[in-house]
Structure 1
Amino acid sequence: MTFHDTLLEQTQAERAELLSVPILKAALAGQIARQDYVAFLGQAYHHVRHTVPLLMACGARLPARLEWLRAAIGEYIGEEMGHHEWVLDDLVACGADRATCAASQPSLATELMVSYAYDTIARGNPVGFFGMVLVLEGASVALATRAANTIQTALGLPRNAFSYLLSHGELDVEHTGFFEGLMNRLDDEADRQAVVHAARRFYVLYGDIFRTLRRDGLRLAEAA
């Protein structure tokens, strides 16, 4: 069994819990309101705009023995640059004001996830950041294109209100094989365990963004 297979197996329960979040199931059934989609985009902006800075921070902290992984991070950076602007484009297409959205504050759940990502890189093993990559890209592959098509039909929004979801659904399918190859090159057990540990945490943290989406990130027992 490869490490990538092991990673998926050891995080299966957390992944299933994320995919069972009520608002995600409602979105796939076309049962959400426009304000739910706008709220999702608003929080997506606040974590997507940190993707490139996080990749840069991770690359800077990697040891010399992982130079090959630093090179791969360079590829990721080139592909992820400017994606937060796509989210703002979608918000404008939904009728929101671009400047207001860009100047807004993240919800508690979003801020905690981003903070944990920086903390993983700075305090722990920077390789653990790839646990976040697994969670966000995996969720995107599983949900993005399906959700975009269903939400567009249900809400009657224009196609250009879904550039982030549609592009990431397709882009992250391409990234999946690349990510798998990187994980299978990790040969240090501490690096591997750092990825597994972080992935488990990020499944919960990312899920909290959706669990609390309708209440501005407040942790609500009934939303779990």
Structure 2
Amino acid sequence: MKDLMGQAISDYFHNKNPEDLQTETSISELDELPVSYLFRDFEEMNSIEKKALTLSSGKVLDIGAGAGSHSLYLQNERNLDVTALDISPKSIEVCQLRGIRKTVNQNMLEFSGETFDTILLLMNGTGIFQSLIVIDIYLKKLYSLLNENGQILIDSTDIIYMFDADEDGGVYIPAEGYYGEIDYIVHYKADTEDPIKWLYLDFNTLKNAVENNGFKIEKMITEENSYLARITKR
């Protein structure tokens, strides 16, 4: 793992000639992601992020914390006990330098020893599940990390709109697998990360998966094709 996302975050924070990230997927062309976007404050966040941060309470685990913007807001503005977790060592280093008091550089599947009142998975939080084939592994892990009366706040996008439709409204989607399972590729400064599996989920598919793993779910807010869901133990 080259950690290009973390390298971009580090370059931006240390002002070492940062460049925009470039991303592409197996169903979309190259797109630019300004690194500054990962450092935005609360007022610059979208309605889904703002709703999630407003709903957060108690002891919080921010999974996939990135540059730490969500964790920083909850720690400094909401005075919550927050742990920022990310698989990227450079991202976690920046989180620490930005003042986040509790950080973990680890894969969420390997993290243990604590439980939380709120678990955050934002910026297409379902992506970390990779595929419907292994989603149960991740949901069981989340169940073990969540306090009995806790909540998971997670967002995703139904990407059915990205596929061609016929005159009758039917959509041409892949014959095999689930249409939200894609390959995601990051480019930075002429270097390229190996493709990773990334999962976009429509709400009903996520609902079926979480209910099969001892949870209940409710949709909290929608924004165009994206939504924020609140998941709790049954």
TM-score normalized with structure 2 length: 0.25
More helix per residue? 1
TM-score normalized with structure 1 length: 0.25
More strand per residue? 2
